[in-house]
Structure 1
Amino acid sequence: MNKSYKFLVYLTTVTILLIGGCKKEAETPAPAPGISGLEAEYYVVVKETLLFKPAIENKVDSLVWHVNGKRVANAMEYNFQAPAEPGTYNLIVMAYNSGNVFQKVVRITTGRYLNFQTTTNAILTLEASKKFAGKNDLKWEVLSPPSELYRLTATNATSAMFATVDRGTYKLKVSSGDLADTLLITVRRPERLASAYIAKVFDYLPAPGQFVNELPKYVAGDTYETMVNKAGKELVGENANAITLGGWGGYVVLGFDHTIVNVAGRRDFRIHGNAFGAAANPRPNAPFGGSSEPGIVMVAYDKNKNGKPDEDEWYEIKGSGNFSAEKEPWYAIAVGKNNDVRTFRSYEMTYDRPATESPTGTPQNNISINNYIRWADNQGQQGYKVKNTFHAQSYYPAWLKDDKITYKGIRLARNGVEESGQGSYYVQYAYGYGYVDNYPNTHDNSGIDIEWAIDKNGNKVILPGIDFVKIYNGIDQENGWLGEASTEISRGEDLHLLGTKIETVKQ
């Protein structure tokens, strides 16, 4: 076989292989196209448009759109124009490539209103539609509520928050000039019904006081976590028991299993204390007082939905004396008794662990240790808290490892007055409103209105509701044989869930 013939055979063989390879490649089908990024159902207001722009997987030769069986477009996206009358439409988008077809079916409902769904005692965030872009004069309003126990708050130019206590369909309107949208919010019960009472204790740290280590009971070996759990066992549920917050600054942080709605014109919740009126105050025509040991209230709603209160979420309930006690009916009485009636908005006090728990001599005037717990504040003042003969346990939180502890907050004007002239009858006069353990639990002034909330700069804020409450003792005062003013708290209540209506006090 000559060389020319061999080359011809070789060339023919290579050509056949190449042709065979090309034929095999041509016979391999292209991957089927895919469509994603589309929901199964959409809702659009009549006369509005809705742009469909799906994500495409693999090669696509064409994308064909059909509405109710009629071909309406051959493009990579489709702009649906809702007719003037409400209706239901089946949108089918079909993706083609060589030898393959894939389709996606979408249901479009058109109506006269924007539809939303939520549950009772939950915050629903509402965003204005795109047609309001650039508008900063939006007005949000409720047109026809099935219940008055709701709240709508506009948070900025384009969004609002809505919460309600009762089920039903709420019709809302958002507008700017001639532009307007009507919203329908369908509210249903959650799968798990809300409790009207405290559901959890997140934090507990009383300041030194005569009931500390007793309410709740400290047992050797208890830790911070143990005491928080013990506080929870006392406070959670309807059948709650009292715990102490100790002296000034001592606090507890608690939560509910739902959002307490900030209903306009009403007080929204109440935290029980053990306040009571004096039975035999010798002062004629005296304002209400007796055992009023006001705890300052902070509130928060769960902005980031993490189920716990965060430091940047707290707002202060502006009680009647949070800035000054001058308008309190007992103010002149306290001044006449040389009380320290100053109010400190940024107060700090540090307590030292006591050097001893044993009396060094014979108790005098029901005091077993005069120089018991050293304290110092950020106003240049210092001194000692006394230990009385009625409570022998340590007043310093026994589970703490630190020998010093500092508390921060508002210090209210001292409201305790000795009225007998003999050191035997102390009356702690009540502040007007806005505190815990300030009025008896059955009194309207024990109720708290979320509407009284202010931010850290003292500016009023309108909250749709709250999930968490912090209470701390706002009074630093020794009242003779009674001992220090110490806030005690017990059951917490959502007044709306209990059907309790208490009108608010406007500030």
Structure 2
Amino acid sequence: MNNKHKFLVCLIGILFFIGSCRKETIEQMEEAPVLSGIESDYYVLVRESIVIRPALQNRIDSIEWILDGRKVASALQYTFQAPGNAGTHSLIVIAHNRGNIVQEVATITVGRYQHVTTMTNTILKVEASQKFANLTDVKWEVLNPPSELFRLSDNRTSSALFASVSLGTYQLKVSSGGLVDTILVTVRQPDKPYSPYIAKVFDYLPAPGQFVNELPKFNAGDTYETMITKVSNDLVGEQTNMITLGGWGGYVVVGFDHTIVNVAGRRDFRIEGNAFGAAANPRPNAPFGGSCEPGVVMVAYDKNKNGKPDEDEWYEIRGSASFSAQQEPWYSLAVAKGIDVRTFRGYEMTYHRPASEIATGGPQNHIAIPNYIRWTDNQGQDGYKIKNTFHAQTYYPGWISEDKITYKGIRLARNGVDESSGGSYYVLYGFRYGYVDNYPNAHDNSGIDIDWAIDKDGNRVTLPGIDFVKVYNGIDQENGWLGEASTEIGRGEDLHVAGKKIDTINP
């Protein structure tokens, strides 16, 4: 071979090497295909079909579908036609592009039962087959549940409501006489984990009280919207601050980023307050009391699924004194002290803007303006809220332009007793259960069971879960130098998502 031929051979070799390197570089730079949206498990009834459509990213040259070791399709989607017998099938999805191969694996279960999928902490309406239509003696059961953190609510018809805190597949048995159906409900994890704490504040309107405009702070120019933002800053999340609801009827409405499941046999949530026990009650063997300022609890679930407590029905959490306080351990001693222990349902109170904000007297004179804020109610009663010298700001909500505000709800029996007989030591006794800011936060009695819910007529209701909570001050009482009873609230939490177990009671 002469030198010229040698040169050509070397040149061709160099060009081939450069081309090969360039090809390898291109292949290395190619981003691998991405397959998403393929579940790890699918369920389909015999002789029915499902269509699997993966979401695709980056360039893809081809997709292959391998069912039980056999190639069944080369397409962007695949329709699985279930055979006439139950069983389990393996599906592999393989995507190619130049220099890259990726795959996803799924299991397809073929069964003879209806199967539905839902997310944790979500209310699902489950429908039995058509053969149960119009029947009113339908029985629903959950067989061998993978967790006790679920709720199935039904009204003996062909539909039921189901919700679960825990992942897994729940087998629901539906029966009526000789008719039987089985429905499988697979509960999956949401893309974003839920927070156990309050996620949103929807409304806030405290009634006049000594901490109003201070917890949270009202500044000149603040509007309803800016006050909602301040309350949100105080209540949303794990780290919170106390806000006041003021006097009787003052309220706040909050929500969570999920449904709080009504787990049978457990208390489901709590809203913290600042209640505490008396340090030196002179009464021997006294029942629990100290600073207990109970807030009445209302709950609702997002039936129209719009994320707002607008057209959803509110239900009262029946507390131990929702209809009468006669069973409270302090009832007789309150009666002996001449305290008004009546319970008013359907109560209304109207507060009128104060005529003057000028305080008189000094710190030694605890009553600064005895006739401060006039009030009237629907029981033919009227009177005044007192302003003391410890809190000089206006007690009337500063962002409200109206000269009077009306609140509605239940007025509980008054629970504040002067145990000193001289006005120096008041004890606000605790109700047995069912209220906010009524027991210390660490006590089981701070927990609320959704199963205590009743409708407007006092009838018990069974809710699978709730999305919204309203708390309002249930006590109208002045306690000498302490001032009015005012519910304060702080952090709210879903006990199940927070991993806390508090057994309930059956009142």
State the alpha-carbon separation in 2 of the partners of residues 203 and 134 from structure 1.
41
State the alpha-carbon separation in 1 of the partners of residues 48 and 187 from structure 2.
27
Counterparts in 2 of 1:136 and 1:155: CA distance versus 1, 3 Å: closer
Relative to structure 2, which stretch is displaced further, 148-157 or 300-309?
Answer: 148-157
Q: What's the TM-score, normalizing by structure 1?
A: 0.79
State the alpha-carbon separation in 1 of the partners of residues 311 and 304 from structure 2.
12
**TM-aligned CA deviation for residue 246 of structure 1:** 0.1
- What one-letter code is carried by the residue in structure 1 that aligns with 2:168? G
Structure 2 match to 1:63: none
**Within 5 A, what are the aligned runs for 1:357-368?**
357-360=357-360, 365-368=365-368
Structure 1 match to 2:234: 234
- What one-letter code is carried by the residue in structure 1 that aligns with 2:139? K
Structure 1 match to 2:346: 346
Structure 1 match to 2:253: 253
State the alpha-carbon separation in 1 of the partners of residues 456 and 119 from structure 2.
31
Relative to structure 2, which stretch is displaced further, 463-472 or 170-179?
Answer: 170-179
Does the 8 Å CA contact 1:144/1:172 hold for their aligned counterparts?
Answer: no
- What one-letter code is carried by the residue in structure 2 that aligns with 1:424? S
Does the 8 Å CA contact 1:126/1:161 hold for their aligned counterparts?
Answer: yes
Counterparts in 2 of 1:363 and 1:355: CA distance versus 1, 3 Å: farther
1:448 and 2:426 are equivalent in the alignment = no
Relative to structure 2, which stretch is displaced further, 390-399 or 363-372?
Answer: 363-372
State the alpha-carbon separation in 1 of the partners of residues 448 and 361 from structure 2.
46
**TM-aligned CA deviation for residue 156 of structure 1:** 4.9
Structure 1 match to 2:124: 124
Structure 2 match to 1:218: 218
Does the 8 Å CA contact 1:267/1:495 hold for their aligned counterparts?
Answer: yes
Does the 8 Å CA contact 2:150/2:261 hold for their aligned counterparts?
Answer: yes
**Within 5 A, what are the aligned runs for 1:261-340?**
261-340=261-340
Counterparts in 2 of 1:241 and 1:49: CA distance versus 1, 3 Å: closer
State the alpha-carbon separation in 2 of the partners of residues 118 and 172 from structure 1.
14
1:184 and 2:184 are equivalent in the alignment = yes
Q: What's the TM-score, normalizing by structure 2?
A: 0.79
Secondary structure, counterpart of 2:233 in structure 1: helix
- Structure 2 unaligned blocks of 5 or more: 1-41, 50-81, 90-107
Does the 8 Å CA contact 1:276/1:292 hold for their aligned counterparts?
Answer: yes
- What one-letter code is carried by the residue in structure 2 that aligns with 1:483? G
State the alpha-carbon separation in 1 of the partners of residues 329 and 186 from structure 2.
47
- What one-letter code is carried by the residue in structure 1 that aligns with 2:331? Y
**TM-aligned CA deviation for residue 338 of structure 1:** 0.4
**Within 5 A, what are the aligned runs for 1:194-205?**
194-205=194-205
**Within 5 A, what are the aligned runs for 1:38-117?**
45=45, 85-86=85-86, 111-117=111-117
Relative to structure 2, which stretch is displaced further, 364-373 or 478-487?
Answer: 364-373
**TM-aligned CA deviation for residue 132 of structure 1:** 1.4
Q: Number of residues paired by the alignment? A: 417
Structure 1 match to 2:19: none
- What one-letter code is carried by the residue in structure 2 that aligns with 1:296? V
Structure 1 residues 175-207: Cα deviation after superposition (integer angstroms, max 9, x where no partner): 111111111111111011100000000000000
**Within 5 A, what are the aligned runs for 1:404-415?**
404-415=404-415
- What one-letter code is carried by the residue in structure 1 that aligns with 2:210? Q
Does the 8 Å CA contact 2:359/2:389 hold for their aligned counterparts?
Answer: no
**TM-aligned CA deviation for residue 133 of structure 1:** 2.2
- What one-letter code is carried by the residue in structure 1 that aligns with 2:237? G
State the alpha-carbon separation in 2 of the partners of residues 427 and 359 from structure 1.
27
Counterparts in 2 of 1:285 and 1:444: CA distance versus 1, 3 Å: same
Structure 1 residues 107-160: Cα deviation after superposition (integer angstroms, max 9, x where no partner): x98522111101111111101111212322111100021111000001451110
- Structure 1 unaligned blocks of 5 or more: 1-41, 51-81, 90-107
Does the 8 Å CA contact 2:361/2:389 hold for their aligned counterparts?
Answer: no
Structure 2 match to 1:482: 482
- What one-letter code is carried by the residue in structure 2 that aligns with 1:267? R
State the alpha-carbon separation in 1 of the partners of residues 295 and 484 from structure 2.
14
State the alpha-carbon separation in 2 of the partners of residues 111 and 167 from structure 1.
20
Secondary structure, counterpart of 1:451 in structure 2: helix
Structure 2 match to 1:145: 145
- What one-letter code is carried by the residue in structure 2 that aligns with 1:476? D
- What one-letter code is carried by the residue in structure 1 that aligns with 2:355? A
**Within 5 A, what are the aligned runs for 1:367-446?**
367-446=367-446
Structure 1 residues 441-476: Cα deviation after superposition (integer angstroms, max 9, x where no partner): 000000000000001111100000011000000000
Structure 1 residues 209-255: Cα deviation after superposition (integer angstroms, max 9, x where no partner): 00000000000000111111111110000001100000000000000
Secondary structure, counterpart of 1:448 in structure 2: coil
State the alpha-carbon separation in 2 of the partners of residues 384 and 189 from structure 1.
54
State the alpha-carbon separation in 2 of the partners of residues 167 and 109 from structure 1.
18
Task: Provide the alpha-carbon RMSD of the alignment.
Answer: 2.1
Structure 1 residues 75-101: Cα deviation after superposition (integer angstroms, max 9, x where no partner): xxxxxxx98633799xxxxxxxxxxxx
- What one-letter code is carried by the residue in structure 2 that aligns with 1:111? G
Structure 2 match to 1:64: none
Structure 2 match to 1:162: 162
Does the 8 Å CA contact 1:322/1:412 hold for their aligned counterparts?
Answer: yes
Does the 8 Å CA contact 1:146/1:169 hold for their aligned counterparts?
Answer: yes
Secondary structure, counterpart of 1:270 in structure 2: strand
Does the 8 Å CA contact 1:247/1:485 hold for their aligned counterparts?
Answer: yes
- What one-letter code is carried by the residue in structure 2 that aligns with 1:238? E
Does the 8 Å CA contact 2:354/2:372 hold for their aligned counterparts?
Answer: yes
- What one-letter code is carried by the residue in structure 2 that aligns with 1:152? L
**TM-aligned CA deviation for residue 359 of structure 1:** 2.5
